[in-house]
Amino acid sequence: MKDVALRSGVSQSTVSFVLNGLEDMRISRETRQRVMKAVEELGYRPRGAGRPPKSTSAGVIGLMFDEIATSPFAAISIEGVQEAAWKANVIVEVVMTGGDPDYEAEVLKKWSGDNAIGVIYGSILTRELAAPDGLGRHRGVLLNCSDGASRYPSVVPAERRGGEVATHALIAQGHRRIAFISGEPWMQASDQRMEGYERALRAARIPVDPSLIVEGNFLPSGGRAATLKLMQEGRNPDAIFCANDLTAVGCYEALKELGEVPGKTVAVMGYDDQEIAQHLSPSLSTVLLPHREMGQWCVEQLLSGDTSPVQERMSCPLILRESHHIQGAGS
């Protein structure tokens, strides 16, 4: 759907409304035709996720998130869960608890009474946590988090490997002074991405330079401030690896303020593959967080009947666009 929106020059919401045949929306005939032309050219087939199946004899899976609205990733995970459940003729019930343990307990009790097939317990931030006691009444699986006691199957992104792959891509372009802008230090994802960055440098026999590592906050404001700091005092890096795509937005802004050209005078790498990565100029090379695939894995795990507490670390693919390569640098 993202590709259809990009090809037709409209938002993903517009594509969704056109494909769902909503005639009461004030979308022009020309826009509808443009969207459908892009659909045909790209061979796109709507997933039909979220529509209740004709028969729900197979039951219900509960999906519990602490937060949903703070990032796009919860929605992507929900789509992945719904797609996999739809294929098995299963309905998904989604709740957002805000991390309230009393509310979690009541919902888990309700799903127990409904004889739910299982429960997916998800966190918006990748972290280790103590799963609620009520989850023990269910066949449970953890999404984007892990249980310190290793009682449940869980799936998280392979963040260290993602950071390593991203840094290797910059090294392959001939960059040697590679900076890293982190998220806040308490964030597991940021910490592990930095570990991968350092691991890749050491593997290439490039010394880890502490002056090229600057703390950000996973927001454009932090990316801008960190980039300005990196570019002062003649410490200019060849490339800047940003711990997420929003940080890269601020990095681009700072570089342009300084008269630099992202992807030409300083290479930039992001992480997450948020939609904005495609629309930056130049388009942002980044690493995909596999939230859709993680959601699908959780459903498959529940339906398989395998209750062993496997700990899955899912690969984060590299998405190469334009920003990681400086003209005339490397191969």
pLDDT in tens, 121-142: 999 989 999 999 999 999 999 9
Taking alpha carbons only, the member of 76, 10, 17, 77 closest to residue 38 is: 10
**Alpha carbon of 33 to those of 11, 37, 277: distances in Å?**
15, 6, 26
Please check whether residue 55 lies inside any domain of the structure.
Answer: no
pLDDT of residue 305: 82
Asked whether the beta carbons of 163 and 178 are under 8 A apart, the reply is no
Say how far apart CA 151 and CA 282 lie, in whole Å. Answer: 45
pLDDT of residue 27: 82
pLDDT of residue 50: 47
**What is the pTM assigned to this prediction?**
0.84
pLDDT of residue 204: 97
Please check whether residue 313 lies inside any domain of the structure.
Answer: no
Do 211 and 243 reside in the same domain of the chain? yes
Say how far apart CA 197 and CA 192 lie, in whole Å. Answer: 9
Please check whether residue 17 lies inside any domain of the structure.
Answer: yes
Please check whether residue 296 lies inside any domain of the structure.
Answer: no
Please check whether residue 171 lies inside any domain of the structure.
Answer: yes
pLDDT of residue 233: 66
| Domain closes at, from 137, 152, 167 | 152
Do 106 and 71 reside in the same domain of the chain? yes
Name residues of the chain where pLDDT drops below 70.
23-24, 46-58, 233-234, 327-331
| Domain coverage including residue 175 | 159-287
What are the beta bridge partners of residue 129?
Answer: 147
pLDDT of residue 330: 44
pLDDT of residue 331: 37
Say how far apart CA 94 and CA 299 lie, in whole Å. Answer: 13
Question: Where residue 69 sits, what CATH number does that domain have?
Answer: 3.40.50.2300
Phi/psi at 272 (5° precision): 125, -40
